[in-house]
Structure formats: structure tokens, C-alpha cells
Amino acid sequence: MPSTQETVQANAENRYQVTAADLPLSCPMPGMSLWNSHPKVYLPIEATGEAKCPYCGALYVMAAADQPQSAR
């Protein structure tokens, strides 16, 4: 039986805005379809507020309210 939860295509965008609720951050993120994606990799975004996936080049940016003081 197929899932009724809708998924987002993995690696379809070059930039994603994320929040503290998305931590720990991984690419592809939960909720992305994985059948045509690269292996899951965890990205260290907490220190700088930005992280780039080494596989697909997607840039993940923390929402301004969730960024560490040093990254503002």
C-alpha cells in the first residue's frame, strides 16, 4: 500500500532554508524521495548557520531566528 504522505524530490533545489527543528541536518532530508538520490550525509550547520552538501552541492541555510550569534 503506497504511503499517503507526500514527498519532495531530493536534490531538486540549490538552496534550502532550515530551522532548529530540522537538526540534526542531513542531505537528503527526511521527507525527500530517496530512490534517485545520493547516500545520506549529515551536515554540520550549527556553528556557522550554513552547510553545503559534498554530494549534490545543495546549500542549507538556517533561518535567521535559529542562527548562532556568531553567524548573524
pLDDT in tens, the chain (72 residues): 445 556 666 666 689 999 999 999 999 988 777 777 889 999 999 999 999 999 999 999 999 877 766 555
C-alpha cell, 24: 540534526
Q: Could you say which DSSP state residue 38 is in?
A: P
User: Model-level pTM greater than 0.75?
Assistant: no
